[in-house]
A and B are shown apart, each in its own frame.
Chain A
Amino acid sequence: MNFGNRGNDINPDDVASVTVLAGPAATALYGSRASNGALIITTKSGNISKKAEITFSTTNTFSSVLKLPDFQNQYGQGFYTGVNSDGTLSYDTQDWGDNWSWGAPFTGKVEPWGQQIDGVQQQKPYSATPNNIKHFFSTGFVTNNNIGITSGNDKSSYYLGLNSENSNGIYPTSVDDYNKYSVRFNGKANLSNNFYTSVNFNYVRIQSNNVAGGQAGGSVLQSLYQTPRDIPIDKMGNLNNKYNGYGYTDAGGVYHPDKFGFYNEFYPSPWLLLRDYKNYDDVDRVTGGINLGYKPVPWLDVLERVTTDFSSDRRRLLTPKFSYTPADPGVIGDPAYPAGIEVVSNGGYEEDTYTTGEINHDLMVTAKKNLNDDFSGSLMVGNNVRLNNSTVTVTSTNQSAGLITPGWYNFGNSNGPIYATNYHSTQRRVSVYGDLNLAYRNMVYLDATARNDWSSTLPVDANSFFYPSVSGSFIFSELLKGSTIEKILNYGKLRASWAQVGNDAGPYQLTTGYSQASIADGYTNGNTIFPFSGVPGLMINSTLGDARIKPEITTSREIGTELGFLDNRLSVIANYYSNRSKNQIVASSVAPSSGYLFSIVNAGVIQNQGVELTLRGTPIKTADFSLELFATYTRNKNKVLSLPNHAQIQVGGFNGMAIVAQEGKPYGEFYAVSNQTENGHTVVGASDGEPLPTANAVYLGSYNPKYQGSFGGTLNFKNTWMLSFLFDTKQGGVYYSNTKSGIDFNGTSAETGGNRNPQIWANSVINTGTASQPVYQTNTTAKFIPQDYYANFEPAGMDVVDASYVKLRSLQLEYQLPARLLNNSPFGHASVGLFGNNLFLWTPKSNKYVDPEMNSSGSGNEQGFDFTAQPSVRNYGFNIKVTF
């Protein structure tokens, strides 16, 4: 269940500016959390000595499904039952309740389907419903409304922002709603005696219901994708219709609460899942900060800053309890063929609470001085203390027996002992840092930083780590001032940097403890759960701690240039970098025969090298009209240079697909069983013609793209009309698609279409020798059956898909009312806009599955995984903004 990340909690309308702090400057100030740079989001706080201003803005966005898997449209419900003498398959025609699409080829003939209720079966042509999945989804809508008030006098100013965001997602009905309300107050004041102060406060409240995805019980997507191709699931939303619903009234007016009429006896209807399975989420988050500064003399600034961030996230998961038998009485007179089996859920109720708290203190002393006309400098020294606390409690009704009474979601209704776990963590860090800046004539700049952290999560006697940096830049165009070259090259800068950043471990990774025993089996959180008949039991944890874990240190080297031509009509930014990460802390999957499943380890040395290019130009620029275009290109090469103490580290994985780090290979290689090949020929079994799996896992490519790029532009007409667009792309890299695995299994994916009769695997060979001394011969006899291959044998290695894409990321049209029109109105500014995001996606033909950007686990080691990801959406809408 994905409940989103807390980055969503900042209201974009409250943002005054966003600064990207890359490299050393970020790490000195923000430590390891800024190891990949930092986004410094400054929220509005009003302007001193500016008149009061009220801004109202509204953004209204519609969303629809961007990419769904490609499905086959040749075969319907059912499965094969045998091979006929002519080599074709015979199919099951009796089972109304199957969820497979491995049935007979479509005929177009009108035939009965689904359950026979009150003696009547529904009729429909036996043909594909090509858009049954697409049309299941509806158009989502988000309305975001914002009021901002700023005001100031000669000493102080404030900003008050009120925001609401109400949305209803792409699932039909309004179950996937999301409502967010936030209020922000920022104020600042210059006090007498050279003190200055500011406070900020932000409160966010979110209430939402999330639709389960992935392979979770109650996953609507799973139920939807497992719909045979002839079933019009999009039109089956009326659960009062006896052929769609659960509980029905028969022809005689008698209500049967324990009968269901839906066609599928293995999965509940996605419409039922939407209606009755709930994943409520309530979030409260308060962030705030106080700055108190003192400038005793103009060149000295002492700033004390305390910030806090507290959030509480309460989730309630409701799984209904039910037990239904089919309304269909079965084949009358033939007790051997009853209608089908009972559909049962024991139900359940779970409450999860996540509370986190962070307190940050910084004391920074900055001295700035112009030494003479040519030299200026500043020195900042600071101290940071960071405290993090988190608590997680998960409580649920008995995980096996569920609820006693349907519809009552309370722990008092637990059928058996309540399941409860809790987790508490504390993490503390103390840091000192310094930053020295020197400048010579706006031409040469030198910046050196240093930071030392002491962390509670590292071994007590080795909890300190130091990371310095130095960077310099030289604006050589200053030397060209006045020369003719300046007409062409008006700006030129060279820069170089060397920087380190360190990072500590998570809390409690030094030891391996024992917890209450519970023997999970992949279907339940605990098959056998302790206490067992009153006897308590403990078990060793599955993750092995490392008492001597070392901090991670990443060292980066970078050189770059910025060039401006023709009065900045054309500019180029180019960077080359080479980073080495040492001792990255990873929870690596290990062989279970070691007694553990994961182990906290320091990985070896991983290198990232690459170039970043930005080209920006203004081909047209007149008094009324300008066109600006830009393009970026990034290429990163990544390689595991060494892994001392480890032959290989498995940094992630799921469903038989591992992600590993192996010396000499890119970090993040997929590693799994695939089909065996011999000189490009697939090796198949001599007896059944099915492709044979490899005896060992093989490397299947990396999720890292070969390169990324973007292309965008802005057309501006009289500063009233603005049209902008942005394309971006990633090329190369692969992802693992669990969606593919699921719809292949089910016989709905496009690749399961075509000929389904027993056939020879194209270009296959068989081994006529022995396992140790193979002799491969062209296969001319052994025929495989596609259903058996896709439903049983297809290995994870065959579910690796090209992750390349090109996206039209955004397209925007904005109209600003000209000032002269507003002169006689109460408005200071007014604009309207139309926009679209993720409007189009182009993927290679081989990607018939999901948007490769749908990465289920976000950043981190498990990139490139599609765990039956929710479909990505395209957004389009309009906004209006006026100020008074």
Chain B
Amino acid sequence: MRPINILKRIALIACPAILLLSSGCKKFLDVNQDPNNAASAEPAQLLPTVEASIGVVLGDDYYTYGNIWSQFFTQSAVASQYKSIDQYAQVNADFNYGWQHLYQKALINDQLMISNNGSNPTAVQYLAIGYVLKAYSLQLATDAFGDIPMSEALEGSADKNPHYDPQAAVYDSIFALIEKGKALMDNSDPNNPGSADLVFQGDMDQWTAFANTLELRAYLRLSQVDPDKAQAGIAALYGTNPTFLTSNAQISYSSTGGNQNPYYIKAVALGYYENLAASGTAVNAFIRNSDPREFAVFEELSGDTIAYLNQGTFASFVNKTCSPPSALVGGDPQDAASALAPVFLISASESYFLQAEAVARGWASGSASSLFTSGIDASFAADGLSGTDAATYIASAPDAVFPSGTADQIKAIITQKYYAMCGSQGFEAWTEWRRTGYPTFLVTSAAAGGRPVPLRFLYPQTELTGNTNYPGTVTAATPVWWDK
């Protein structure tokens, strides 16, 4: 805005009515350019926002639900913040922020990055990542909520009441978006996102591996509801001689206020209470296998023990001190190192277990057993354990035996994937349990009060009251489409 000198101002104030249409008065009134906001944003300014938003969804909004419903964690006996999760007592409003962070932070900024740069030759790699992250976010949304707004979503003023698309259609779009993104990826493109990419710092080969692994994950998700489609999709994927992730796709955090691990930030805001405790379901499974990862993901109490609570039994052990999740998985508010826990979008071990399953099902070629072992090795490495520890475990643990027969192999693979995801990928572990029923040792929470085990999130309150095309709440006990 250019300054107006005093004389001019006086002249303008005295501006008689008759002169209103003159250019001077038009200029006088032309002061509505918003000085508080930027009119546009570069792709390099939106990509990190999209990635960090996904980090908040995984690391905070989905973290407690995923880790408690997969029975890695349970509500501790010294506080009460997450009681209702163990009680299966959800209401719509519980899911407002997860949904908002997906749609109104991750997806909309991703969409604007894509649609505002369709013909921008310097933004091709951003678009490539943008398509894949859109697919990733849509899967995160649909796996939790079932049918979701997609084809009419993110259109702003054009459609403020988006209709909901069937989950099958969302999955079709996920595959299309991944293909679209992969086709644009080029690691030699000089206009590389670099540090604006919080996940791979612009390494487009890593993004290609990410996209392939995501595609494999998405096809395997359809194994129960549409195995033919899953098989055909995986065959086509393998036909491209794909690379898969061999390292963790993650967002790293620091100890700077506002840049810490999202669950840790929430826990600090809530007063550092240790709301989460090790669940007996996971701990006993670790103990059965003498699995040292138990001590990596949970804090030891004095005497080298992990003090756990059986799932949902907080009311019977009031004030009992239990082992919280460790700083490695961001779950111990009393340990400042929790601030540094990364959030995994897809982990290396998950990548191996996905490949192992594809092979075990006969939908891809390779050695299921060596992929299975690689998955365990990658998990031990992620938990800071040595190759020797992994070898000992593989040689001795009952659940590390790779059996024969497809059904048993799948059971072994998903069960191992479950161990690998303890504390770090709770939502994906719960999702895979919903798909496969593995592991088989999950129990009904002692706090359930007769309520059925949740199989999905409830649509948020904000859609219920804000969307005139809201399809009605689907109860938490209703399985999603792929959960057959």
Q: Tell me the A residues contacting B by CB distance below 8 Å.
A: 79-82, 92, 94-95, 266, 335-338, 340-346, 359, 361, 383, 385, 398-402, 415-417, 419, 422-428, 430, 432, 454-457, 460, 463, 507-508, 510-515, 517-519, 521-524, 526-530, 532-542, 544, 546, 588-597, 599, 646-648, 650, 653, 655-656, 658, 660, 671-673, 685, 687-688, 693-697, 771, 785, 788, 792-793, 795-796
Contact = CB atoms under 8 A, between A and B. Distances in A.
Contact of B157 (A383, A530, A546, A658): A546
B36 A82 contact: no
Contact of B45 (A512, A529, A537): A537
Contacts of B268: 346, 400-401
B451 A656 contact: no
Contact of B97 (A80, A340, A522, A541): A522
Given A423-B36, A508-B34, 6 more contacts: A82-B316, A508-B33, A523-B270, A535-B196, A540-B108, A695-B472
B258 A595 contact: no
B213 interface: no
B89 A792 contact: yes
B28 A535 contact: no
B224 interface: no
B51 to A, nearest CB: 9
Contact of A508 (B36, B78, B93, B449): B36
Contacts of A524: 265-266, 269
Nearest to B319: A337
Contact of B161 (A513, A532, A647): A647
B470 interface: yes
A460 B156 CA distance: 23
Given A82-B315, A338-B319, A537-B49, A650 B105 contact: no
Contacts of B32: 456-457, 460, 507-508, 510
Given A544-B156, A688-B451, A528 B259 contact: yes
B454 to A, nearest CB: 13
A338 B29 contact: no
A519 B52 contact: yes
A415 B103 contact: no
B109 A599 contact: no
A399 B60 CA distance: 17
Interface stretch (B67-75, B286-294, B408-416, B459-467): B459-467
Contacts of A593: 99, 103, 148-149, 153-154, 162, 463, 467
A137 B373 CA distance: 67
B162 A342 contact: no
A527 B60 contact: yes
A340 B154 contact: no
10 contacts: A80-B315, A82-B315, A399-B257, A454-B25, A514-B41, A521-B262, A528-B55, A542-B104, A653-B465, A793-B89
A85 B59 CA distance: 41
Contacts of A266: 79, 271
Interface string B75-106: 00011000010010101110011011101110
B52 A537 contact: yes
Nearest to A80: B315
Contacts of B161: 590-591, 594, 647
B406 interface: no
B476 to A, nearest CB: 11
Interface residues of B, number: 112
A658 B61 CA distance: 23
Contacts of A785: 449
A688 B108 CA distance: 40
A342 B258 contact: no
Contacts of A595: 103-104, 107-108, 111, 153-156
Contacts of A771: 475
Contact of A647 (B462, B464, B468, B472): B468
**10 closest pairs, A vs B, by CB?**
A513-B37, A416-B257, A529-B258, A595-B108, A591-B467, A401-B257, A398-B257, A647-B468, A593-B149, A658-B465
Contact of A696 (B96, B270, B307, B464): B464
Interface string B29-67: 111111111111100011011001101100011000000
Contact of A788 (B269, B319, B449): B449
Interface string B12-23: 111111001000
B423 to A, nearest CB: 19
A769 to B, nearest CB: 14
Contacts of B265: 400, 521, 524, 527-528
B122 interface: no
Contacts of A511: 34, 37, 39
Contacts of A430: 15, 17, 20, 25, 28-29
A528 B60 CA distance: 10
A541 B107 CA distance: 13
Contacts of A599: 156-157, 160
A696 B156 contact: no
A673 B155 contact: no
A346 B269 CA distance: 9
B449 A344 contact: no
Given A399-B258, A593-B149, A595-B107, A532 B31 contact: no
* A342, A535, A671, A696: most-surrounded residue (chain B CB, <10 A): A535
Interface in B241-276: 252-254, 256-260, 262, 265-266, 268-274
B159 interface: yes
B28 A795 contact: no
Contact of A398 (B41, B104, B258, B468): B258
Contacts of B46: 537-539
A541 B320 contact: no
B473 A693 contact: yes
B104 A597 contact: yes
A528 B462 contact: no
Contacts of B256: 416-417, 533
A594 B104 CA distance: 8
A514 B28 contact: no
Contact of A400 (B156, B196, B260): B260
A594 B319 contact: no
B45 A344 contact: no
B360 to A, nearest CB: 37
Given A507-B32, A771-B475, A342 B334 contact: yes
A517 B29 contact: no
A673 B461 contact: yes
A95 B319 contact: yes
B166 interface: no
A647 B316 CA distance: 50
Given A430-B25, A540-B109, A591-B462, A344 B271 contact: yes
A435 B252 CA distance: 68
Contacts of B468: 647-648
Contacts of B316: 81-82
A337 B445 CA distance: 23
Nearest to A789: B89
Given A524-B265, A532-B52, A647-B161, A594 B155 contact: yes
A685 B477 CA distance: 12
B321 interface: yes
B450 interface: yes
A94 B49 contact: no
Given A430-B15, A529-B259, A673-B92, A594 B465 contact: no
B29 A521 contact: no
A454 B160 contact: no
B318 interface: yes
B327 interface: no
Interface in B279-311: 302, 307
Contacts of A432: 17, 20
A534 B259 CA distance: 10
B13 A594 contact: no
Contact of B274 (A341, A538, A671): A341
B467 A523 contact: no
B93 A656 contact: yes
Contact of B156 (A337, A338, A340, A594): A594
